[in-house]
A = this chain, B = another copy of it.
Amino acid sequence: MAGEAYVTVRERILRGELAIGQVISRRKIAAELGMSFLPVSEALLRLEHEGLLESRPRAGTRVRVPTRPDVLGHYVVREALESQAAMLFAMHATRDERSELLKLAMRVDSLSVQSDGNRFIYLGLHEKLHRRIAECARCAALSDAISRTSALASTWLCATRAPSPGNPPAHHENLLKILIAADPPAAADAMRQHIRSSMENAMRRLDQYFQLQKVAPQTYSRTQKKRSALDALTPPSASTHDTASV
């Protein structure tokens, strides 16, 4: 049951149904899922340890509002893990896997240039590309570490609106071409550069949240009126089928 609650809440955060900074109630979720709030507490605690939530002891729990060092640190860790995965991919991936992922990269690129609301499809496919690279590295522990880490970034990118602005059209295709070429250090280095450009992108987008934090460092308000500063920032997406509106 705790696992069910974990998956449900995690999905909601990752799909952007719960915006950054939004306060959630253990009791309401428990009632909604038809269980006591003890397994829900367990799930939320786990999500807090993974960095998706934050809570103050007796005030409330909300979707984590990242700070600038948070995002920087996240991408440093991610750079370490994903460049390692790229290196192992160059060493161990089969021929089929290499061609599969090259094709996937080209699809991601083609979705990237379209600016009509395929944002969620693009994000999902982009995450799949990175996940598959990690899986082809043939190391479960590394895959796990990466998927734990990239869940965080998914949250942050879900919250922002603009579809990747200044990426070259063949961004991922070029990356995969290097990974396929089977030179491990070069693969690691290419992934390293890729992650760094992702970081700059994310930094630019999340800037508004960094400003916000200085204004309301630790607000766990449950009502609407005092969250106006936050609400002004969150994209209007909300409902799941509304992705074609931008």
- A interface residue numbers (CB < 8 A to B): 42, 45-46, 49, 69-70, 72-74, 76-77, 79-81, 83-84, 88, 139-142, 145
Task: Give the residue name and chain of the B residue nearest to A87 (CB).
Answer: B80
Main secondary structure of the interface of A (DSSP, over half): helix
| Highest count of chain B CB atoms <10 Å: which of A42, A49, A73, A80 | A80
Query: Lowest 3 A-B CB distances belong to which pairs?
Result: A73-B141, A80-B84, A80-B80
Q: A69-B141, A80-B81 are in contact. List 10 more A-B contacts (CB 8 A).
A: A42-B42, A45-B46, A72-B139, A73-B141, A76-B84, A76-B141, A77-B141, A77-B142, A77-B145, A81-B81
Is A74 in contact with B42, judged by CB distance below 8 angstroms? no
Indicate whether A141 sits within 8 Å of B79 (C-beta atoms), given known contacts A49-B46, A49-B49. no
* Pair B42/A73 contact, Cβ less than 8 Å: no
Assembly CA distance A45 to B177 (angstroms): 42
Nearest to A38 among chain B residues (CB) is B38
Collect the chain B residues with CB atoms within 8 Å of residue A81's CB.
Answer: 77, 80-81
Flag if B84 contacts A142 (CB, 8 Å). no
- Decide: B142 and A69 in contact? CB cutoff 8 A: no
